[in-house]
Amino acid sequence: MRVVHLVCSTGFAGVERYIVAVASGLASSGDDVVVIGGHAELMQRALASTSAQWLPGDDMGEALSSLRSIEPPDILHTHMSQADLVGWLHLRWHRRPQHVSTRHFAGRRGSNPVARLLFRPVGRSLAAQIAISRFVAENVEPPVEVVHSGVESTDARVKRRPYVLAAQRLEAEKHTADVIEAWALSRGPAAGWKLRIAGDGSERRDLEALASERGVGESVEFLGHRSDVPALLAEAGIVIAPTPREGLGILVLEAMASGAPTVAAAGGGHLETVGAARPDLLFTPGDAADAARVIDDLLRDPARRESAGAALRALQRREFSVERQVAQTRRLYEHVLVLS
**156-210 pLDDT tens trace:** 677 899 999 999 999 999 999 999 999 999 999 999 999 999 999 999 999 999 9
- Dump pLDDT digits (tens) for 281-307: 999 999 999 999 999 999 999 999 999
Residues with Cβ within 8 Å of 212's Cβ and at least 6 positions away in sequence, in order, are: none
- Dump pLDDT digits (tens) for 24-77: 999 999 999 999 999 999 999 999 999 999 999 999 999 999 999 999 999 999
Using N-to-C axis directions, what is the helix angle for 288-300 and 176-185, rounded to 10°? 60
Sheet-wide strand order for 2-6: 53-55, 32-36, 2-6, 75-79, 98-103, 128-131, 145-146
CA atoms within 13 A on the CB side of 327: 6
Q: How many residues make up the chain in this entry?
A: 340
Closest Cα partner for 272 from 246, 291, 296?
246
Q: Whole-prediction pTM value? A: 0.93
Question: Residue 315 above 70 pLDDT?
Answer: yes
Q: Do domains 2-150+321-339 and 161-319 have the same CATH topology?
A: yes
Q: Is the distance from CB of 182 to CB of 295 less than 8 angstroms?
A: yes
- Dump pLDDT digits (tens) for 81-125: 999 999 999 998 877 799 999 999 999 988 788 888 888 889 999
Residues with Cβ within 8 Å of 340's Cβ and at least 6 positions away in sequence, in order, are: 98, 127
How many CB atoms lie under 10 A from the CB of residue 99?
20
- DSSP letters for 32-97: EEEEE-S-HHHHHHHHTTSS-EEE--SSHHHHHHHHHTSPPPSEEEEESHHHHHHHHHHHTT--SS
Q: Is the distance from CB of 14 to CB of 80 less than 8 angstroms?
A: no
CATH of 161-319, one of 3.40.1080.10, 3.90.1170.50, 3.40.50.2000, 3.40.50.1370: 3.40.50.2000
SS3 279: helix
Closest Cα partner for 210 from 180, 252, 190?
180
Distance CA 154, CA 213 (A): 39
- Dump pLDDT digits (tens) for 228-244: 999 999 999 999 999 99
Domains of the chain, by residue range, sit at 2-150+321-339, 161-319
CATH of domain 2-150+321-339: 3.40.50.2000
- pLDDT of 119 reads 87
- State the pairing for strand pair 161-167/236-241: parallel
- Model confidence at 78, pLDDT cuts 50, 70, 90, reads very high
Distance CA 234, CA 71 (A): 42
